[in-house]
Structure 1
Amino acid sequence: MKLARPPKRAAPETIVALIDVVFFLLVFFLLVGRMDATAPFDVTPPIAFEGTDMPGGGATLAVSADGQLALDGTERTRDGVIEMLGERLAADPGLRIRINAHAGAALNTVLPLAAEIEGMGAQDVVLVVTPGAP
């Protein structure tokens, strides 16, 4: 008696290899992709200069950690600083103004002050920074 052998079936394809590839692609794109929001327009951040001397002249506004202000070494109130800078800018519109703020000074003190100085017509406002220890 002859019995027919059942035909050989092809080995079922495993999907494990495909899952591995998809997982690796997912990890790759998570590592390479940017996850932050981008602006709808071109934004070029400012460039900090290090190692060169700042040109002389102009006015220096110092801001302490607790918000006290001094203009060219003389302690003044905020209104006094704004008034004095307004007079100096009226006489010299190209006046360079350096803002030397303490590292502990609050941004809500320094930034509105810089914006107000720029609003008065100052063309050259420089924030003085010191590089950290390597």
Structure 2
Amino acid sequence: MHIDMPRRKPPGESIIPMINVVFLLLIFFLLTAQISPSTPFPLTPPDSSSDETTHTLDVLYISATGDLAWNEARGEAVWPLIADRQDNAPVQIRADATTPAAMLAAHLKHLRSVTDSGAQLVVNKG
């Protein structure tokens, strides 16, 4: 007389090591990510072949239609805030690639009248 015992399933491979690797990768990417503030409106910066990069917290954004943004200020309200800055660092400008040159020149002229710190135009490296 022979009794058939139910066969045991072989133990499956543990997924815990894979979960550990995924969490380590997640932590790595979170720690190495560069978090930057979002633009106040959609911008497509022009391309550049320069390797030079600039970093600043205060940026003057200029949209394709000429809208201005500086921190929380919008429109013509940006000029008094730029003039009242404490530091003498150049003003960083991020303009849309389709912003007309005449409009950009007018904003640069106005910028020159409210500050003497100069300006840096930020473009994408192409």
Specify the TM-score bucket, using the shorter chain as the normaliser: 0.5 to 0.7
**AA of the residue aligned to 1:69:** L
RMSD: 2.2
* Aligned positions of 1:1-134 closer than 5 A: 50-57=50-57, 59-72=58-71, 74-78=72-76, 80-88=77-85, 91-92=86-87, 94-132=88-126
Determine the structure 2 residue equivalent to 1:26. none
Q: Residues 49 and 123 (structure 1 numbering): CA distance in 2 closer, same or farther, change over 3 Å?
A: farther
% of aligned pairs identical?
22
TM-score, scaled relative to structure 2: 0.53
Cα distance in 2, alignment partners of residues 70 and 64 from structure 1: 9
- The total of aligned residue pairs comes to 79
For 2:84 and 2:52, the matched residues in 1 are separated by 30
Whether the 8 Å CA contact 1:95–1:122 is kept in 2: the answer is no
Structure 2 residue ranges without an equivalent (≥5): 1-47
Q: Which runs of 4+ in 1 moved over 6 A?
A: none
User: Deviation of residue 101 (structure 1)?
Assistant: 0.4
Asked whether the 8 Å contact 1:98–1:126 carries over to 2, the reply is: yes
Structure number with bigger Rg: 1
Q: Give the deviation of 1:49 after TM superposition.
A: 7.1
Q: Per the alignment, in what secondary structure is the counterpart of residue 84 of structure 2?
A: helix
Give unpaired runs (5+ residues) of structure 1: 1-47
Distance 1:69 1:121, change over 3 A: closer
